[in-house]
Amino acid sequence: MQAALTVSGLGKLYKLYDSPRARLRALLTGRDTHRPHWALHDVSFTLERGHCLGVIGANGAGKSTLLKLIAGTLQPTTGSVRLGGSGRVTAILELGAGFHPDFTGRENLRFASALIGISPAQAARLEDSIIAFAEIEEAIDRPVKTYSSGMVVRLAFSLATAVEPDVLIIDEALAVGDQHFQKKCVERIDSFRRNGCTILFCSHSQYHIRQVCNAALWLDGGNARLMGPTEMVLAAYETHVRLLDANMQPTEAAATDLPAAAARKVLDPGRRGTITEVSIGPLGQGAPPLLQGDTLVVSVVAQAAGDEQPNVAVMLEQVGGVGITSVATHVDGAHATRQADGSWRATVTFPELPLHSGEYVVSAYLFDAQGILVYDEWFKYAKFLYASPARLPGLVSLRHHWS
Amino acid sequence: MQSLRKEIASLWSARSLLAVMVARDLKSRHAGSALGFLWLYAQPLLTIGAYFLVFDIVFKLRLGEGAPTRAMGAYLIVGIVPWLAFTDAIGRGMVSLVEAGALLQKNPMPPVLFPVRSVLASAAIFLPMIVLLVPLYAPNHGFSAALLLLVPLMALAVLTWCLLAYALAILAAALRDVIQVVTFVLGVGMFLSPVLFPLTMFPEQLAWLLWANPMTPTVLGAQGILLKGSAPGAEVWLTMIVWPALLAVLLDRLVARSREQLIDWL
């Protein structure tokens, strides 16, 4: 199979000057006095058609540099980027960057089309569908300065994805507009992928990376630390982050002792779904309370707009960091049930809890009907103590037998 | 000259985008105003009118021997139109890269498009004004064939502006102070050119300063053609070629040294 994208030995050196004056001197005399900084160093990989690569890493790890080098906005210092197929690359790095506030949406659309290499004839053909997708029919002939920020990014996203590319580059851009439009964006990107478009996706949302990508690349200090199947790379990255946090914050227990309400995310009124209650049990007394028996029951109550049946996920972690398990209705094929007052309730039971003694914390998430968008999350909301009959050290009791 | 050749090649392959950008630049110069595109012409015409009023009508200045014409106003207009075109093109071209920073960081496009766009948009405003001067002056010398030389003269001038604007845009990207210095120089530069007074009226020991002004040959050439219907002399054509040649060498170096980093400086 022909590679859609081949990146070999890609590197980017930034020349850091002590002052802009030194920069001008270097420019005029050719004598360089810079300090070198490799933002990206010797990164190589190959992607086939239809593959989706998630790029993860801390801030400053070189994610954006990598995407910009592939998009062609930055010139590489070493190495090369080779594109297969027709070589059309669309980069969603920042939406609406080229828009002029005094021009109408339609005028900006025409200019921005030329900018991304759409011919005037093709732009004229696509115009109606772009405007329809952005849902700004009535505002299209008004100056862009009268638009809300949501309208601007909707128009820009709609244009950027009007022509299906061979390689699509997305830099943290999925948070586009309201949740209704976000869903349309995710669906459009998903349909590109099904049609064979290769996607590079950089996000801090590990949920979205898990959802969309079949491979992940972990960048660390400009170097490729690990590349492989998404789950393997994410697991390694999560462990790394957790170790880093543990080293940097020895008093994390103090941080998680905050009142439960403080961990609740503040909800904006325009949300399409909210969690209204999370309860765990059966619990006894104490702070945190002790789980009674060996069965944990977590019940999540939520509100959703209209008749949408939301999905619910529950995550169980050891306090201080180690994740134990996550379960979700859309993964298990289960459903939240409608209550008499119109709210939704999902209850998950973990019988014969195979945990060792310790302190545990539960997070709850609310998703849309497809399990794509996160409507709400109550992160590390409820804590409990568990006293296991097992007396030996450990985290979970695995099924085992001796021979 | 490898770097410059690459720039020219990328400019050529993006020529249709360049045309769109020039049209948009012209439009953005008057976007949101009630008079619209009239402002493109009102601004320079009012400036010319002010100079005409002060020098020709209020002070009633008349030029002496050695000047191509006696009337100060007639002399002034021929030189000031190309001069205003030059300051407009260089002023806008110089800041074009800095202003396009956000766009260039997010879209893969050759930076050279921006200064060239600014220069061509300025030329699109001012060159028609020079053409309009032809019927005003040509009857004095019976529509001399030398008028045709305005075409190569202005073509060489626009080429020089493109090279100079791009070079200054790169320097301004490296150090923003360049913008302040050049804006000042453009402001006083007219007094170091033959726009207001003929070459013969300058002290001889300062004549080199006049030739250090890249607009001196253009202004001299335009004055000769329009006022007297005579072809510009060899010194005009020579400097009209030496300027772009020197700028091309400088620009080639600047592009080669800044190519990899330019976008990061914006």
List the domain boundaries for chain B. Answer: 2-265
pLDDT < 70 regions, chain B: 64-68
pLDDT digits (tens, 9 = 90+) for B63-110: 766 666 777 788 888 999 999 999 999 999 999 999 998 888 888 889
A3 pLDDT band, cuts 50/70/90, is confident
Amino acid at residue number A75: Q
Interface test with A, best of B20, B107, B252, B266 (most A CBs within 10 A): B107
Mean pLDDT of A348-358: 88
Pick the CATH number of A3-241 from 3.40.920.10, 3.40.50.300, 2.40.50.140, 3.20.20.70: 3.40.50.300
> B175–A21: do the CB atoms touch at under 8 Å?
yes
Answer yes or no: are the C-beta atoms of A50 and A196 closer than 8 Å: yes
Is A128 part of the contact surface with chain B (CB cutoff 8 Å)? no
| Distance in angstroms (rounded) separating the CA atoms of residues B34 and A41 | 53
Mean pLDDT of A71-96: 84
Interface test with B, best of A73, A93, A116, A153 (most B CBs within 10 A): A73
| Distance in angstroms (rounded) separating the CA atoms of residues A402 and A195 | 51
> B264–A14: do the CB atoms touch at under 8 Å?
yes
* Spatial CB neighbours of A352, under 8 Å, sequence gap ≥ 6: A294, A295
> A27–B260: do the CB atoms touch at under 8 Å?
no
Is A16 part of the contact surface with chain B (CB cutoff 8 Å)? no
Identify all chain A residues contacting B179, using CB atoms and an 8 Å cutoff.
Answer: none
Helix H or strand E segment including A216: strand A215-220
> A74–B263: do the CB atoms touch at under 8 Å?
yes
CA angle, A15 then B107 then A57, to 5°: 60
Average pLDDT, chain B: 89
pLDDT digits (tens, 9 = 90+) for A208-230: 787 778 889 999 888 888 888 88
User: What local confidence, expressed as pLDDT, does residue B232 receive?
Assistant: 93
User: What local confidence, expressed as pLDDT, does residue A247 receive?
Assistant: 66
Say yes or no to pLDDT of A201 above 90. no
pLDDT digits (tens, 9 = 90+) for A132-165: 999 988 899 999 999 988 888 889 889 988 888 8
Identify all chain B residues contacting A73, using CB atoms and an 8 Å cutoff.
Answer: 104-108, 263
What's A267-386's CATH class? mainly beta
Pick from A72, A89, A98: CB nearest B103: A98
User: What local confidence, expressed as pLDDT, does residue B240 receive?
Assistant: 94
ipTM of this complex:
0.76
Pick from B31, B176, B257: CB nearest A20: B176
User: What local confidence, expressed as pLDDT, does residue A262 receive?
Assistant: 34
Give the Å distances, CA to CA, from A78 to A7, A332, A338, B145: 11, 47, 58, 56
**Range with the poorest average pLDDT among A195-199, A246-250, A321-325:** A246-250
Identify all chain A residues contacting B31, using CB atoms and an 8 Å cutoff.
Answer: 100, 102-103
What percent of chain A clears pLDDT 70, i.e. is strictly above it? 91
Is A14 part of the contact surface with chain B (CB cutoff 8 Å)? yes
Q: Which of B83, B254, B87 is CA-nearest to residue B172?
A: B254
Pick from A107, A114, A143: CB nearest B17: A114
| Distance in angstroms (rounded) separating the CA atoms of residues B221 and A363 | 80
Interface test with A, best of B15, B16, B18, B24 (most A CBs within 10 A): B24
Average pLDDT, chain A: 83
Phi, psi angles (nearest 5°) of residue A320: 95, 0
**Range with the poorest average pLDDT among A78-82, A140-144, A339-343, A388-392:** A388-392
Is A111 part of the contact surface with chain B (CB cutoff 8 Å)? yes
DSSP 8-state symbol, A16: E
| Distance in angstroms (rounded) separating the CA atoms of residues A323 and A361 | 10
A284 pLDDT band, cuts 50/70/90, is confident
pLDDT digits (tens, 9 = 90+) for B177-202: 999 999 999 999 988 889 888 888 88
User: What local confidence, expressed as pLDDT, does residue A208 receive?
Assistant: 76
User: What local confidence, expressed as pLDDT, does residue A142 receive?
Assistant: 92
pLDDT digits (tens, 9 = 90+) for A295-340: 999 999 998 888 889 999 999 988 876 788 889 998 898 999 999 8
Is A103 part of the contact surface with chain B (CB cutoff 8 Å)? yes
Cβ contacts below 8 Å, chain A against chain B, sum to 82
Interface test with A, best of B26, B113, B175 (most A CBs within 10 A): B175
The residue of chain A with its CA nearest to that of B113 is A115
pLDDT digits (tens, 9 = 90+) for A5-15: 899 999 998 88
> B27–A103: do the CB atoms touch at under 8 Å?
yes
User: What local confidence, expressed as pLDDT, does residue A388 receive?
Assistant: 79
> A73–B107: do the CB atoms touch at under 8 Å?
yes
What percent of chain A clears pLDDT 90, i.e. is strictly above it? 18
Identify the burial level of A208 via C-beta atoms within 10 angstroms of its C-beta, where 0-12 means exposed, 13-18 middle and 19 or more buried: buried
User: What local confidence, expressed as pLDDT, does residue A59 receive?
Assistant: 84
- Give how far A41 is from chain B: nearest CA, Å: 15
Domain ranges of chain A: 3-241, 267-386
pLDDT digits (tens, 9 = 90+) for A174-195: 566 677 888 888 888 888 888 8
